[in-house]
């Protein structure tokens, strides 16, 4: 079963749909800001984390990769 090609509902939403959503959410901006402010003032870590992710940017994820011993990537049969 092929999944390629054009399908209903796939792809990025149109700019007009994004603008409509922003217009619907606009009146709630004050309430959302007050809720964020109350969460930060209460010292809830998730609110503080959310604030700094938007204010300063999400920090880069780093991964420590430690190899216990050297092992061959593949085995050659003679």
| 26 inside domain | yes
| 4 inside domain | no
What is the rounded distance in angstroms from the CA atom of residue 37 to the CA atom of residue 44?
A: 10
pLDDT by residue for the chain (78 residues), tens digit each? 566 677 787 778 788 988 999 899 999 999 999 999 999 999 999 999 999 998 888 888 888 877 677 767 777 776
| 68 inside domain | no
Q: Is the pTM of this model over 0.95?
A: no
What is the rounded distance in angstroms from the CA atom of residue 58 to the CA atom of residue 51?
A: 10
| 40 inside domain | yes
What is the rounded distance in angstroms from the CA atom of residue 15 to the CA atom of residue 21?
A: 10
Domain residue limits at 48: 15-55
| 2 inside domain | no
C-alpha pair distances (Å), 13 with each of 19, 44, 75? 10, 34, 49
What is the rounded distance in angstroms from the CA atom of residue 10 to the CA atom of residue 13?
A: 8
Give how many domains the chain has, as a whole number: 1
């Amino acid at each position: 079963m092929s999944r390629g090609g054009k399908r209903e509902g796939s792809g990025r939403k149109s700019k007009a749909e994004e603008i409509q959503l922003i217009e619907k959410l606009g009146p709630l901006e004050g309430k959302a800001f007050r809720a964020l402010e109350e969460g930060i003032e209460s010292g809830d870590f998730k609110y503080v984390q959310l604030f700094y992710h938007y204010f300063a940017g999400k920090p880069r994820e780093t991964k420590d990769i430690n190899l216990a011993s050297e092992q061959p990537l593949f085995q050659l049969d003679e």
